[in-house]
């Protein structure tokens, strides 16, 4: 009987630890996601996290895009405007 109680306590302690460590990991992920700064894509006006954005840098200014296509469109428009 004592062995059964001991095993039950070990079992509960193990699963309690696993349960609470999983909750803690999820909370840490939410904090990391909240800290990521959102930038607006100048082409499609979509908000993009800096970590996932395509970055175009010109004259020391960084411009963030949701993808390569928006970056290409922006660069083409800039070249057209500069040629005029």
Per-residue pLDDT of the chain (84 residues; tens, 9 = 90+): 888 888 888 888 887 777 766 766 665 555 555 567 888 999 999 988 888 899 999 888 999 999 999 999 999 988 888 766
Asked whether the beta carbons of 48 and 70 are under 8 A apart, the reply is no
Asked whether the beta carbons of 69 and 61 are under 8 A apart, the reply is no
Q: Assign 57 to helix, strand or coil.
A: strand
Query: Residue 9 and residue 18: Cα distance in Å, rounded?
Result: 14
Run of H or E including 8: helix 2-35
Q: pTM surpassing 0.85?
A: no
């Amino acid at each position: 009987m004592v062995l059964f109680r001991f095993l039950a306590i070990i079992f509960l302690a193990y699963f309690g630890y696993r349960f609470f460590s999983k909750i803690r990991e999820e909370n840490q992920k939410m904090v990391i996601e909240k800290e990521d700064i959102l930038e607006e894509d100048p082409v499609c006006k979509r908000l993009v996290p800096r970590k996932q954005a395509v970055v175009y840098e010109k004259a020391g200014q960084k411009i963030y895009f949701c993808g390569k296509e928006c970056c290409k469109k922006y660069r083409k428009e800039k070249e057209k405007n500069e040629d005029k």
